[in-house]
Amino acid sequence: MKRTEIETIAHLARLELREAEIPSYQESLARILELVGELGRADVAGVTPMAHPLPGLSQRLRADEVTERDDHERYQLNAPRVEAALYLVPKVIE
């Protein structure tokens, strides 16, 4: 894979890569794509893609009711920066 391709993918995934890491990802992603490229030999004409591993089951929905209590103080103990119950991030709008 080209260096620019790795940089594009890393940006899409919002991953900062160190310069020194890039060559190893070029190599290993190329190897992985070679492996998954074997899918090309499968005859899948007319086969329904399988999104759920159990046949006949689909995602269950629940009633639209409030079931959680407000526990934000507890949850925000894990936040890197919080002020007045708000998560702080660098300034977005100048």
Partner 1 sequence: MVSKSLAELATGLSNGEFSSVELTRHLLARVEAAQAALNALVSVTGEIALAQAQAADREIAAGRAGPLTGIPVIHKDIFCTDGVRTSCGSRMLDNFVAPYDATVVARLRNAGMVMLGKANMDEFAMGSSNETSFYGPVRNPWDTRRVPGGSSGGSAAAVAARLTPAATATDTGGSIRQPAALCGVTGIKPTYGRVSRYGMIAFASSLDQGGVITVSAEDAAVVLGAMAGFDPRDSTSVDRPVPNYAAALDRPIAGLKIGLLKEFFEKGLEADCERCVRAALDVYRKLGATLKEVSLPNISLSVPAYYVVAPAECSSNLARFDGVRFGYRCQDPRDLTDLYRRSRGEGFGAEVKRRIMTGTFVLSTGYYDAYYLKAQQVRQLIARDFERAFSEVDVIMGPTTPTAAFGLGAKTADPVTMYLNDIYTIGANLAGLPALSIPCGFAGTLPVGLQIIGPHFAEDRLLNAAHAYQRETDWHRRIPPGYE
Task: Compute and round to an integer the Cα radius of gyration of the chain.
Answer: 22
Q: How far is the CB of 76 from partner 1 (least distance, A)?
A: 8
Query: Which residue's structure tokens are 């007319």?
Result: 46
Q: How far is the CB of 1 from partner 1 (least distance, A)?
A: 9
Nearer to partner 1, 44 or 84 (CB): 44
Q: How far is the CB of 88 from partner 1 (least distance, A)?
A: 9
* Cα(35)–Cα(25) distance, integer angstroms: 15
Q: How far is the CB of 91 from partner 1 (least distance, A)?
A: 8
Token digits for 5? 């391709």
Query: DSSP assignment of 62-79, as one string?
Result: --S---S---HHHHGGG-
* Cα(85)–Cα(72) distance, integer angstroms: 8
* Binding residues for partner 1 (CB under 8 A): 6, 9-18, 21, 24-25, 28-29, 31-42, 44, 47-55, 57, 59-62, 71, 74-75, 77-81, 87, 89-92
